[in-house]
Structure 1
Amino acid sequence: MPRPEGILALLDSRSFGSIWFWVILTFAWTMAGRRILGVPSDVITRAIGIEPGPEDDPAALRLLDWLSLTLPRWRIDQREGAILLGLGSFLLTTLAILGFGYGLEMAQALVLLILPFALLFALELRLAGRLRAVLARAEVGLPANEAGVQAARLMRRHRVVITVLSILAVALTAFYGAIWMIVHPFGY
């Protein structure tokens, strides 16, 4: 029979001292790098090495097809953008005040988890706008191979940004969590 202390330790609500926080942080950043705007990594990788030619390469057509399916989901008008910005700013500001102003560990952990993803969301919206322009040029006459290469390069650069952002976010969170655990060894 399991001991109650073991179960309570497993369900600990402390953030930086809990294995669940670190599992969620690792899982979230792992999943963030697997797809870019909903397009699988292998589709992007195949489209990078396309040679210009008279016939359309299937890899370029596949990437452009994926983009034509996924980019409409990334279209946000000004009103929706203002609402998202206002709600996101309110949430992050509230959590930052609760966490860093009043010393609540859970709020600090949530700020360190959510803030980099908010930045990543803004970067993905920007990438979606650039890819919409490439897709529009492909619809009016830009060769599919050239459009596929342009889109794949933009998405590859974005993947590098995601990698750097994830490394910085996890390192900063781990550093801050270690300092928190040293300063608060008993959790308070």
Structure 2
Amino acid sequence: MDLQQTIFEQIDMRSFSNLWFWIALAVLWSTASHWVLGVPHDMVARARKIEGQAQVDLEDVVRVNVNRLIYIVQVSGLWLLGFVCFLITGLGILGFIYDVEFAQAVFLLAFPMTILGLMSYNAALQIYHQDLSGEPLRARLMRHRVHTQILGVISIFCTALWGTYQNASFGAL
């Protein structure tokens, strides 16, 4: 038996029938909604409840992450955008034109995360330009978290629909 064939039998490249894909999808979105702009949700909740030093810590972490994100986009934004567009387009063509299920699965993970990246950059710009602190900062972070969760629900729903269609259509093959 060929080594490549053995590896692919163990990995099961049929992504939508693989439990690990669905676990990865759930972990991806739960992590994305917990870590908004690189700030854990419990830190925002603690700053709302306690204020004082917890609020100062929140503002420091947000400032560092917002400045970092804006710097990355300023320095390599166009190259990064081009590479991500190339990657997403390649995955989309491989997955949906050439019917490669693994590429479909990666596309359904990566495309919504690309949208989330743009949403995060927009939120970072708003926080930076409006110099938010205190309650307006917490409100902006919570609004971004809700938008992230909405995007996650839509993404999981669309992925589940497509995965169900794939499993129902090609499960008998």
Smaller-chain TM-score bracket: 0.7 to 0.9
Question: Percentage identity across aligned positions?
Answer: 34
Aligned-residue offset at 1:113: 0.8
Q: Does 1:80 align with 2:66?
A: no
Which residue of 2 is the match for residue 27 of structure 1?
Answer: 27
Q: TM-score, normalised by structure 1?
A: 0.80
CA distance in 2, matches of 1:170, 1:60: 33
Backbone CA RMSD of aligned residues: 2.1
Which residue of 1 is the match for residue 62 of structure 2?
Answer: 67
CA distance in 2, matches of 1:120, 1:157: 13
SS of 1:13 mapped into structure 2: coil
Change (3 A) 1:68 1:169: same
Q: TM-score, normalised by structure 2?
A: 0.86
CA distance in 1, matches of 2:43, 2:129: 19
Figure out how many residues of one structure are paired with residues of the other and give that number: 166
CA distance in 2, matches of 1:168, 1:28: 14
Which residue of 1 is the match for residue 40 of structure 2?
Answer: 40
Aligned-residue offset at 1:68: 2.5
Greater helix content: 2
Change (3 A) 1:8 1:116: closer
Q: What letter corresponds to residue 93 of structure 1 in structure 2?
A: T
CA distance in 2, matches of 1:132, 1:44: 17
Structure 2 segments unaligned to the other structure (5+ residues): 1-6
Q: What letter corresponds to residue 115 of structure 1 in structure 2?
A: F
Task: Select 1:155's aligned residue among 125, 129, 141.
Answer: 141
Are the counterparts in 2 of residues 34 and 41 from structure 1 also a CA contact under 8 Å? yes
Greater Cα radius of gyration, structure 1 or 2: 1
SS of 2:171 mapped into structure 1: coil
Q: Does 1:18 align with 2:15?
A: no
CA distance in 2, matches of 1:70, 1:15: 34
Aligned-residue offset at 1:9: 6.2
Change (3 A) 1:73 1:79: closer
Aligned-residue offset at 1:11: 2.5
Q: Does 1:173 align with 2:159?
A: yes
Q: Does 1:103 align with 2:99?
A: yes
- Off by >6 Å, runs of 4+ in structure 1: none
